[in-house]
Amino acid sequence: MSASDRETLRLDFLKAAGLSDAVRAPLPGDASTRRYERLTPATGPSLMLMDQAPAAESPPCDPSWTPDQRRAAGWNAVARLSAGRIEAFAAVAAHLKSLGLSAPDIPALDAPNGLAVLEDFGDALFARVIADGADETALYLAAIEALAVLHEAGDPPATLHGPGGDWPLLTYDETALQGGADLFVDWLPKLDDRVTFDAAAIADWRAAWAPIVASGAAGASVMAHRDYHAENLIWLPERDGAARVGMIDFQDAVRAHPSWDLHSLLQDARRDVSPALEAEALDRYFALRPGVDRAGFMADYAGLAALNQARIIGVFARLIARDGKPRYRQFLPRMWRHLNANLDQPSLAPVARWFDRHVPPETRG
């Protein structure tokens, strides 16, 4: 579809939603194929236009597909990403709201064409308000409270129901976890020619991660936002309790190990979180979930955090080397620091030995 045809769809959608008079202000883009605009109507509060053309990405995963079928279908199927589908966002939002958490209302929706009007939570991203002087600890502990609500809700439904239709909540399984880790060996050599991985090294890589992948898949027991960090959380201080944490960008939610969103928040790719704050946040999490075996949980936390950091290094390498987005280079040193720290854990010794053999210290940063 041409850009002009897509704009015609947007105009028709806004007219049907009673927003043809709204002033439209595009928001900066991110690493996805979505685009957002802030809508300012003649009367009433501002809103957001979410625009995700359904054909812009490879298809999402059919729940019945085998690992081989997923690999043949493309990356979204391997990783169990939503391909940006509006109906996924709407169904996850409905589930979060049913738990008393803050996801945007959706006053208008055209799922087949990938368009939605959303409640505007404003610009008070956690990262932004902390930079402006807000109490970092209070915000992070509120984010922990919201996660505890989500996790204490227990086993999530296999199918989510939303205004755009049903959407499967798939498990972040072995194929998705190992596929994510493999981005590291696929893309780091394309960014840094000092590292190369032959077939034997890649086989050893997968063997080293196998116990962590198995634990992550076996422990998948809660809904994971999957991109839970300070630039996807919006402070809503006029609300109460966990609802003060406005959630966005959750369309790729899956059933996953409860540590996943925790380490995404506390070992962030984009901003530093002090070890003291990480420790305090984890203490609060376990206080809110007293039935959790902390020692076992933390072993999985370190392993899955390291796997996610290897995945993110691979993602950033791909964005830089393939997509010509050099700004992601600034995040690599922080991810290497997180990964190297987690590799010191005894449970990660096989992975640490692999890095010692194949990734020279001077390339880890």
> Nearest to residue 216, comparing CAs of 228, 226, 229?
226
pLDDT in tens, 280-292: 999 999 999 999 9
Altogether, the residues listed in the chain come to a count of 365
Does the pLDDT value for residue 17 go beyond 80? Answer: yes
């008393």: which residue's tokens?
Answer: 100
Does the pLDDT value for residue 30 go beyond 70? Answer: no
Give me the mean pLDDT over the 128-148 stretch. Answer: 97
Amino acid 40: pLDDT: 97
* Cα-only R_g, the chain: 21
pLDDT in tens, 181-203: 999 999 999 999 999 999 999 99
The per-residue pLDDT of the chain, averaged, comes to 95
CA 337 to chain centre: 20
DSSP string, 140-155: HHHHHHHHHHHHHT-S
pLDDT in tens, 141-171: 999 999 999 999 989 999 999 999 999 999 9
Give me the mean pLDDT over the 211-231 stretch. Answer: 97
> Nearest to residue 164, comparing CAs of 107, 117, 118, 109?
109
pLDDT in tens, 329-338: 999 999 999 9
